[in-house]
Amino acid sequence: MPLSAEQTLRNRARALGFDDCRFTTAEAPETAPVLRDWLAAGCHGDMAYLTRTASKRADPRRVLPGARSVITLAASYARVEPHPAPPPPPPSSSADPCPPARIARYAQFADYHPVLETPLHALAETVNTLGGPLTRSLAYVDTGPVLERDLAQRAGIGFVGKHTGLVSRSLGNWFFLAEILTTLDLRPDPPEPNRCGTCTRCLAACPTAALIAPFRLDARRCIAYLTIEFKGSIPPELRPHLGNRIYGCDDCLAACPWSRFTRPGRLMPPHAQPALAAPDLVGLLDLDDAAFHRRFAGTPLLRAQRRGLRRNVCVALGNTGDERALPALRRAASDPDAMVAEHARWAIDRIEQRLAPPTRPLSRNA
């Protein structure tokens, strides 16, 4: 008996290396109105592209007129780890090595967009071949104006957790999403119900209290936003909470009990960048433009740009409190870029305050 179109596509997705492949209709996700409220409340910060494309995001049929189905895909970026990620180091003594930087797991690989686009476009070709010459398809990995998590939940890949990420029962939290919008009619899979129960560990774990309610992230407080997307001055009251994180944050996902079902995938591991696991902070501050591009070519870190990354490194150095960072910070404090210079001065003040001998409390009788 010939295979159904759905089974053919599932087999092909698996052969191409994806860890899950499911189908849903191209109808607007029921949760789309939440996007409008979230934008109206300003929770997107400076990510103006979300507002510009809001009406398309709310309905895939506005992205691809005539779309009937969405093929949703997951690709795990989990690594096999014997131990959980170490906590941020305490202020060190001069005998310890300089504290390293912390980079989000997803960014410790080559940029996932081009890595996943190759198999994704190969799958889109199979869709078009199956559907015949009139079939139209659009393939995205993070790049399109679509509510990827909402569509993937309706297709049954996983459920939107209280931290707002998609959680899978078989992959845990560490996976990317991609999808193909198509005019081909495919039988939808059943949606996945929410399985957070009464758990609120992700809310408690967020260092900056960015999860202001279950299923509600104020991006303006989120370390991923502040260190990657945001181009301005990091609000001073949030800086101490960044710890040594210089690019993204995983704390809400790491706190999720479903992370124990993590499974390494096949597409990302060959692109791992072990040098990004714990790079030296001072070395990063001293990178000139050419060295920055050489070091981070093909990685997600280019998105922060050199000035954004150096801004983040200043904050992390201030938080680690290591006096050996002072010479590099003093050089950065006279940087022609006023934003980098201001963050460097903040870090110097913070380290010097720590170094200053504690003021003795006034005695009652003095």
Residue ranges binding ligand B12 (CB under 6 A) = 31, 34-35, 38, 47, 104, 106, 141-142, 146-150, 160, 163-166, 175-177, 194, 215, 217, 219, 222, 224-225, 229, 248-250, 252-253
* C-alpha distance from residue 125 to each of 24, 129, 144, 366 (Å): 19, 6, 18, 84
Nearer to ligand B12, 168 or 328 (CB): 168
- Of 37, 96, 142, 185, catalytic: 142
Shortest CA distance to 235 belongs to which of 218, 251, 250?
Answer: 218
Alpha carbons 150 and 216: distance in angstroms, whole number: 14
Nearer to ligand B12, 117 or 229 (CB): 229
Q: 48 near 222, Cβ under 8 Å?
A: no
Q: 166 near 157, Cβ under 8 Å?
A: yes
Nearer to ligand B12, 19 or 322 (CB): 19
Nearer to ligand B12, 217 or 309 (CB): 217
Q: How far is the CB of 286 from ligand B12 (least distance, A)?
A: 25
The three-state secondary structure class of 213 is strand
Q: How far is the CB of 201 from ligand B12 (least distance, A)?
A: 13
Q: Which helix (H) or strand (E) holds 174?
A: none
Q: How far is the CB of 3 from ligand B12 (least distance, A)?
A: 28
Alpha carbons 297 and 287: distance in angstroms, whole number: 13
The three-state secondary structure class of 177 is strand
Q: How far is the CB of 350 from ligand B12 (least distance, A)?
A: 24
Helix/strand/coil (H, E, C) string of 144-197? CCCCHHHHHHHHCCCEECCCCCEEECCCECCEEEEEEEECCCCCCCCCCCCCCC
Q: How far is the CB of 249 from ligand B12 (least distance, A)?
A: 5
Nearer to ligand B12, 39 or 130 (CB): 39
Nearer to ligand B12, 9 or 268 (CB): 268
The tokens describing 265, both together, are: 């995938």
Q: How far is the CB of 248 from ligand B12 (least distance, A)?
A: 3
The residues, ordered by sequence, that sit 6+ positions from 95 with a Cβ below 8 Å of its Cβ are none
Say whether 189 is catalytic: no
Q: Which residue of the chain is nearest ligand B12 when measured via CB?
A: 248
The per-residue DSSP string of 100-138 comes to BPEE-GGGSBS-HHHHHHHHHHHHHHHHHHHH-TT--EE
In whole angstroms, how large is the CA radius of gyration of the chain?
23
Residue numbers annotated as active site: 142
